[in-house]
Structure 1
């Protein structure tokens, strides 16, 4: 299968590399000049737990996707949420009427953005528990294992979605087909909507947050706000189950020593965050539905204030 990775950061590098190793034709698309330069000169370095690989994959900036590029079978969307629209505006030359998009972004509302560029029957949504990091430009740190859940937005897209599932299975990405991926997306949004923003504001890792006496109250309140909004959209979240999933990440043998991606973006790299697509999305939806979400609103405002203080780009 010919596959484009739209957003070849840490996670995009991991998925692109594993798909390449399974024999697929993979191209990477990213906006970071140093990352592009490093991969072109030295290949994509993948540092697994017990071995290292170097893959010489073609990589382009979105602006370099010009008309003479042939279309791809699948685009895996792994940009930051706020970069999704601009990315798909730029990569239209590789998208044909037969091209599918598999969206693995965190957050909410991406179906509306992608529907501007892709027919709904060609959109696949999913979530993943894989993790990845970048040790530097062109150098991905790929420890641990994970899985991917996927489902087509429109029933007519199921046949190709199952083809994608087979391709991802052969690549060792542990995919499963879901009959309710929207529930999983909301559940993961709850995890991100608590740990990402709170660890960033409190300047701590997940285990340190979990050790706080007030952690349980904060988690319960924020999950409650997510659940109230999700219910209006037909998603009934099992709040105790979601809270249990969040608390399971506190274990230092699991993800406890991990600093969430929002922390890494803002505190370490002074980059703008995806808060508007997580807590901010719940706040906005809540206003539309006349549901009060004060914790999501306040956390969104605090993160934006921190972005200003750090002059995030």
Structure 2
């Protein structure tokens, strides 16, 4: 399959590398020039479960797409949520009538942006529980195991979605075709809405946060806010199951992992996707008349920290 990966950070690099190793024709698009230069010179360089792995794939900046001649069967999106609209305006030349888009971003509401650029029956949504971290331009740390869950946004996309599942199986990405991906997206948003912002604000990894006395109450309160808003969106979250799902990470093989928002904000001083996670819950809560004080405060605190570190 001809696959274009948009956003070649840690997770984009993981999927690109594994899909390339699975025999697919993979093209990369990224907006960070230092990353583009490094990958063009030496390929993606990965510490893959303790073993050095590298692979060269064509990579372009958004400005180069128009001249690239690339056409994609599938575009896999690993951008930051706040980059989504601007990037799709730039990469329209690679989208044709048979192109599908798979969005695996953290957060809620991305289909509202993507439906401006691709027909809804060519849109796939999903989540991934893989982890990845960047150590520098073109260099990533890939450890542990993971999975992908995806579903077509409309019934007409089911056949292609199942074809993607088969391709991902061949790449070792442990995919699953979902029959209720909206529930899974909200469930994953609870992970991001707790661990991502809290670890970024407290400058700690998942396991360190989990050892604090306050962790259980914080998780329960934030998850309850997510669940109250999700219910208005037709998603009935099992709050105790979601809590156990999040808390299980404290002693898992990813306990030492610094979530992506920590990598962005603390390590690299980049703007975060908080507005598509806790910020989205706070905004929707206002619309539905539901109080979400923790989500609102966390959103404000992350924005304050963005300003303090000069995030761009």
State the TM-score bracket (shorter-chain normalisation): over 0.9
Size of the alignment, in residue pairs?
Answer: 312
Q: Secondary structure at the match of 2:270?
A: coil
Q: Secondary structure at the match of 2:296?
A: helix
| 1:272 alignment partner in structure 2 | 271
Residues 224-268 of structure 1: per-residue CA shift (max 9 Å, x gap): 0000000001000000000001110111x4222222111121111
Pair 1:68–1:5, CA change in 2 (3 A): closer
| 1:162, distance to aligned residue in structure 2 (A) | 0.8
| 2:76 alignment partner in structure 1 | 76
Pair 1:41–1:243, CA change in 2 (3 A): same
Distance 2:250 2:203 in 1: 15
Moved over 6 A (4+): none
Indicate the RMSD between aligned Cα atoms, in angstroms. 1.1
Residues 172-227 of structure 1: per-residue CA shift (max 9 Å, x gap): 11101000011111001001101111122222222221122221111111100000
TM-score normalised to structure 1 length? 0.97
2:5 corresponds to 1:5: yes
Counterparts of 1:122-137 in structure 2, within 5 Å, are 122-137=122-137
Counterparts of 1:192-231 in structure 2, within 5 Å, are 192-231=192-231
Structure 1 stretches lacking a partner, 5+ long: none
Residues 137-182 of structure 1: per-residue CA shift (max 9 Å, x gap): 1122211111100100000000111111111111111101000011
| 1:54, distance to aligned residue in structure 2 (A) | 2.0
Contact 2:108 2:280 in 1 (8 A): yes
Distance 2:67 2:178 in 1: 35
2:49 corresponds to 1:49: yes
Q: Secondary structure at the match of 1:230?
A: helix
Distance 1:179 1:263 in 2: 32
Distance 2:249 2:219 in 1: 13
Distance 1:263 1:133 in 2: 10
TM-score normalised to structure 2 length? 0.97
Q: Secondary structure at the match of 2:169?
A: helix
| 1:43, distance to aligned residue in structure 2 (A) | 1.6
2:238 corresponds to 1:238: yes
